[in-house]
Structure 1
Amino acid sequence: MFKKIKGQLKVSNIIFFIIITLLVVPVTRQPIQVFINKGLALFSPSTIEKESRRQLINYDWQLRDMNGHMYDFESAKGRVVFVNFWATWCPPCIAEMPNIQALYEDYKDRVLFLLVSNETVGEITPFLDKHNYNFKIYNSVTAYPEMFDVASIPRTFLIDKEGNVVMDKAGAANWNSDKVREVIEKLLME
């Protein structure tokens, strides 16, 4: 009996060693992390109750898109806004991007999508091309409004027409869920 357990432990030790090795090797680490985060991104973000919502007061934020065109966040007043802070090297960011693309495809004419990264055009463009993403990416030119308080990425905010933060999610989420779409539809009707 002891030999059987001992033999089983050896197999489990080998499997454990293989998994750890795959997570340490840079070539396999990111795909595994993205896969794990895609599982986590199956869940929809939660909506903040009306009485707990924070209101964006300061719209003083300048952004630049990948073509060098400036965007003044002041122009976002009165619109439903989706703000996502992300990076091409971030596995949870990569995991939620297909959902963001699908949401963007359906709402790009009615919701303002601001996907913000601090990476260069040379880093972002190949990533967008590889995955066939067609949303605009922006770099901050000035500091973003203090209320965003981005300590980790991805960090996403859904803001209503009055500047209230309706959703605030740190980490990967399913932004293309029925729940998110229902919230957006309600916000667009207000």
Structure 2
Amino acid sequence: MKFFEKYKDNLRKKTKWSWASDIVFVLLILALIFPATRTPLVVFVKRLTLFGPSVSEKDNYGKLSQSDLQWPLMDRNNQIVTLSELSDKPIFINIWATWCAPCIAEMPSIEKLYVDYKDKVNFVIATYEDQTLTDAFLEKQNLNLPIYRYQIQEPKPIQSSTIPATFILNTKGEIVVSEKGTSNWNSDRVRELLDKLIEEGK
């Protein structure tokens, strides 16, 4: 009996803010339990906590060989394109999937970067998924990004066991950024690095 009396007393003492926070907590738990709401919730939380990637002019994560640069990808017009054909400019490679909540969370930042740099940087947003899936995703998310489909596994220097995985190459095929996980790609540091790579590639 004492337990119930104490419980009722605590309920009476709760403020409106306490009740509100309890309700929000319960709703978050329910959202995580049910699959239909899990992905949107994870995307929302990830976007709230996005940070710029680790970017340094001194970073070097290896280099793609001439063989690696022959990695074939199919564009949205069903044309085969290789990295070698795109190496006249810096290359921004993002490996993702439509079911990946962290991938979805960073897409708007990639889109903003793409809008400003698409004429100076070659963007390769790569996935193994079918074009019908990716086209539907782009339409739903109101995105306009250059999606490429795998034809074979990616070259070893840019292989990743997790997605999203993002790499930035200079015109020599050197990997100057290698980032796993969600990031804000529309950051000042990324833009400064791209500007530098563009200037070096002239």
Do both proteins adopt the same fold according to a TM-score greater than 0.5, normalized to the shorter chain?
A: yes
Give the CA deviation at 1:107. 0.7
Partners of 1:15 and 1:45 in 2: CA distance: 31
Question: How far 1:134 sits from its partner (Å)?
Answer: 1.7
After superposition, the C-alpha distances for 1:79-115 in whole angstroms (9 at most, x for unaligned) are 2000000111111111111111111111111100000
Partner of 2:37: 28
Task: Please report the RMSD computed on the Cα atoms of aligned residues, expressed in angstroms.
Answer: 2.3
Residue-pair matches, total: 188
Q: What is the aligned-residue identity percentage?
A: 39
Question: Which one-letter code corresponds to 2:45 in the other structure?
Answer: I
Q: Is contact 2:93-2:167 (8 Å) kept?
A: yes
Matches within 5 A, 1:146-185: 146-185=156-195
Runs of at least 5 residues in structure 1 that lack an aligned partner in the other structure: none
Paired position in structure 1 for 2:47: 38
Q: 1:109 to 1:51 in 2, by over 3 A?
A: closer
Give the Cα separation in 2 of the matches to 1:51 and 1:135. 27
What SS class does the counterpart of residue 39 from structure 2 fall into?
Answer: helix
Larger Rg computed on CA atoms: 2
The residue type equivalent to 1:99 in the other structure is S
Alignment of 1:16-165 (within 5 A): 16-41=25-50, 43-48=51-56, 50=58, 52-57=60-65, 58-165=68-175
Deviation at 1:4, TM superposition (A): 6.9
1:3 Cα deviation (Å)? Answer: 3.8
Deviation of 1:78 after TM superposition, in Å, equals 3.9
Relative to the length of structure 2, the TM-score reads 0.83
Contact 1:78 1:163 in 2 (8 A): no
Classify 1:18/1:165 alpha carbon distance in 2 versus 1 (closer, same or farther; 3 Å): same
